[in-house]
Amino acid sequence: MDPITLAFLISSGVRLLGQGFGLAQSAKANKKAESYLQSRMNALSSRFSKDYYQDFLDTEAARSTMNRLNTQFKDMANNIKGQSASGSTAEAEIAAKDNIQQRYADAVSNLAGLGTQRKDSLQARFDANMGNLENQKMGILQQKAQNWSTFGQNVGNASDGILKAWGMGAFDKTGG
């Protein structure tokens, strides 16, 4: 076998080995990336479920707001009692208490509305974050497909080279 043919065969073999090694390392890295992305997706889903299905009135913000509302409305009710003791009529006291109850109901209703807004916001953020993670996962899958395509092309090129060498008599027992 002449030196040029031998060098050609060796370079084709080295190219295939290098491509195989690179493909194996790429697959290993992709597995790590996929595992990491899956753990992020699981964590995101878990956090979303915990937050989304939590009763808004059980959140720290809502409890704090309710405590403040209760304190304010109790103070208002006490002021009405004080005014009543100082000579206002029973009808005026009832009307003032009715007004306080209506305002309290409105405030609690508004607070409940914030719970709906919170859920909508959580859902939108979850969808956006999950979409980003899914896009990253799709990128990994596309890279895998590209790696296999490149590997297939390189195997085809190497086999073409071997066929050309064979056609030039590189494998003849006479050496050429």
* pLDDT at 135 exceeding the cut of 80: yes
**Does the pLDDT of residue 83 top 80, yes or no?**
no
- Domain annotation for the chain: domains and CATH numbers: 3-167 (1.10.287)
pLDDT of residue 40: 93
Of 163, 124, 174, 158, the closest CA to residue 17 belongs to 158
Please give the helix or strand (H or E) that residue 26 lies within, else none: helix 3-52
Give pLDDT, residue 176.
Answer: 47
CA distance 161 to 11: 10
Distance CA 69, CA 49 (A): 29
Q: Residue 147 in contact with residue 26, Cβ under 8 Å?
A: yes
| pLDDT recorded at residue 126 | 96
170, 5 Cβ separation under 8 angstroms? yes
- Give CA–CA dist 55/150, Å, rounded: 53
pTM for the full predicted model = 0.59
Q: Mean pLDDT score of the chain, rounded to an integer?
A: 84
Question: What pLDDT, on the 0 to 100 scale, is given for residue 1?
Answer: 63
Each residue's pLDDT tens digit, 100-128? 899 989 998 998 889 889 999 999 999 99
Q: What CA–CA distances, in Å, run from 119 to 26, 56, 133?
A: 40, 9, 21
Region 128-156: what's the mean pLDDT? 86
For residue range 1-15, list pLDDT tens digits in order: 677 777 777 877 787
Give 25-68 pLDDT, tens digit per residue.
Answer: 888 888 898 899 999 999 999 999 999 999 888 889 899 999 99
Across the range 135-144, mean pLDDT stands at: 88
